[in-house]
Amino acid sequence: MTTALSTSIRSALDACGVDLSLLDSAQDLQTRTPITGEKLFGLPATDADGIDETISRAEAAFRTWRDVPAPERGHVVRRWGELLREHKRDLAVLVQSDAGKTMSEAEGEVQEMIDICELAIGQSRMLYGQTMPSERPGHRLMETWHPLGVVGVISAFNFPVAVFSWNTALALVCGNTVVWKPSELSLLSALGAHALLARAVADCGQDADIHHIILGEREAGEALVDDPRVALISATGSTRMGHEVAPRVAARFGRYLLELGGNNAAIVAPSADLDLALRGVVFAAAGTAGQRCTTMRRLIIHESIAEEFTEKLIAAYRTLQIGDPRDEGVLVGPLIHSGAYEGMRSALTSAQEEGGTVLCGGARVLEDEHPDAYYVEPAIVRMPGQSATVKTETFAPILYVLTYRDFDEALALHNDVPQGLSSAIFTSDQAEAEIFLSSRGSDCGIANVNIGTSGAEIGGAFGGEKETGGGRESGSDAWKAYMRRATNTVNYSGELPLAQGVKFL
């Protein structure tokens, strides 16, 4: 089928350097866009032999790549960042087609890739170890960091290229090679991102095998998870997926970095700037049609302002323009597929059975215009308490509203879920803000004051606790996840004193 959308996608793929002969409707994997629901192109899946060969080639490339000086490895990432700037719009078109994002959000995702490239370039000159004083005279005690080997990256549809780049940019400058298995729901943007990286590698005269992409469904990811040649698995997805990945990698004594579910909440205190809180809540709860891992799913409001704030929130929701994300003014695009819509409907039914009241939203819209796409009104549901449904992450725009009387109750509600990714408090009370950020406050990996739960910056480590998996990606010292540490002792004394004063010969 030739449509304006498929034509723009072909043009974007070609601009990124993707071989257009891959696009064959008779192939194994069928790409589809959530914008219209139409099927686009077929792509070849990487079979078991192909995956095995890919890992072998990445393993062989590692043996030489690890010896390339780290700043020189950074040159590849620098060039990748330059190409991403040059083709920001092209790659954003592919992200939009795959994930149904507005162009602003799609370009923002590519900007994240550019940002992590900048961070990784600097990191390539700062892979610091440390020197510690030795208790033995004439000895030097130090730590050094070394690359792991092959890093397997398994990414999700909702950020089809950004999270991949967080892992890949750092893994490469640390001296690892990368094999990437993108979501089968977002293959077009994956091909574009991979092609730009391949161009960067070629432009810098480095081995093309330092980075590979494999295409496939669940079985392709399992092959990476189970292969002992893959030193680290970095996987982004559901908590259910994490429960399967972690024990399988651990069984072979591999390493894993997991970014799993989030059931993120914000507390709105009586002292909060309600206009500020309103803007923060609406974007975090309804942006990307509720399909961010950092989407706000629970709102915990002090009972003294609950009615006023909820009314403002409902009014704001009714102004949100829902529709084709390519259209000007649209803020809420489609859900990824019918399964996401059914999950949303099921959650709303369960919430009502548990005593909840749907205050607004929840209906499917634009069905006549796009019968194969799933556009929904973001929903607000008032709940009498934190039920089983509220404690379960539903990857759709549902915001559960709960109330509290005192701050300790708010913290207890906030932390009483299995997930622990992102959190926020809106308050003008400094003590509340400080407590929220303290060890007795939010138990999440990300804790914010007077901003929402979405919109993390590259400079800070990204990740969460509890069933979110405990991994950290992007900024801070996240680079250490892609390296192994060695403790070294150098004896230049001419004697052989043993530690702790032990006498032997």
Query: Region 66-83: what's the mean pLDDT?
Result: 98
Domain with CATH 3.40.309.10 in the chain: 264-458
Find tokens 């509290």 and name the residue: 404
Q: What percent of the chain has pLDDT over 90?
A: 97
Look up the CATH superfamily of 46-260+469-485. Aldehyde Dehydrogenase; Chain A, domain 1 (3.40.605.10)
Kindly report, residue by residue over 257-281, the tens digit of the pLDDT: 999 999 999 999 999 999 999 999 9
| 142, 131 Cβ separation under 8 angstroms | yes
Q: From CA 173, how far away is CA 158, in angstroms rounded?
A: 26
Across 204-208, average pLDDT: 98
* Model confidence band, residue 377 (pLDDT cutoffs 50, 70, 90): very high
Nearest of 168, 71, 172 to residue 122 by alpha carbon = 71
Full 3-state SS string of 105-173? HHHHHHHHHHHHHHHHHHHCCCCCCEEECCCCCCEEEEEEEEECCEEEEECCCCCCCHHHHHHHHHHHH
pLDDT digit string (tens) for 315-352? 999 999 999 999 999 999 999 999 999 999 999 999 99
112-121 pLDDT, tens digit per residue, is 999 999 999 9
How many helical (H) and strand (E) elements, i.e. helices and strands, does the chain have?
A: 14, 23
Give CA–CA dist 182/169, Å, rounded. Answer: 16
Where do you find CATH 3.40.605.10 in the chain?
46-260+469-485
Beta pairing class for 446-449 and 422-426 = parallel
- With a cut of 60, say whether residue 245 has pLDDT above it: yes
Looking at residue 6, what is its pLDDT? 87
Which among 184, 259, 393, 467 is annotated as catalytic? 259
Q: Quick one: pLDDT band at residue 27, thresholds 50, 70, 90?
A: confident
Strands 419-420, 465-466: pairing kind: antiparallel
pLDDT of 31 over the 70 cut:
yes
Q: What mean pLDDT, rounded, does the chain reach?
A: 97
Q: What is the mean pLDDT of residues 171-198?
A: 98
Q: What does the pLDDT read at residue 2?
A: 62
Is 53 a known active-site residue? no
- Which fold does the domain 264-458 belong to in CATH? Aldehyde Dehydrogenase; Chain A, domain 2 (3.40.309)
CA atoms within 13 A on the CB side of 22: 20
Per-residue pLDDT, 505: 76
C-alpha span between 160 and 191 (Å, rounded): 10
Give the 3-state secondary structure of residue 490: strand
**Dist CA 298 CA 282 (whole Å):** 12
Whether pLDDT at 148 is above 60 = yes
> Which of 18-32, 160-174, 271-285, 444-458 bottoms out in mean pLDDT, i.e. has the lowest?
18-32
Local confidence band at 24 (pLDDT 50, 70, 90 cut-offs): confident
Distance CA 135, CA 108 (A): 51
In this model, does residue 1 exceed pLDDT 80?
no
Q: What percent of the chain has pLDDT over 70?
A: 100
Lowest model confidence (mean pLDDT) among 149-158, 323-332, 411-420, 494-503: 494-503
At residue 289, the pLDDT reads 98
Asked if residue 358 has pLDDT above 60, the reply is yes
**Average confidence (pLDDT) over 354-380:** 98
What is the per-residue pLDDT for 79?
98
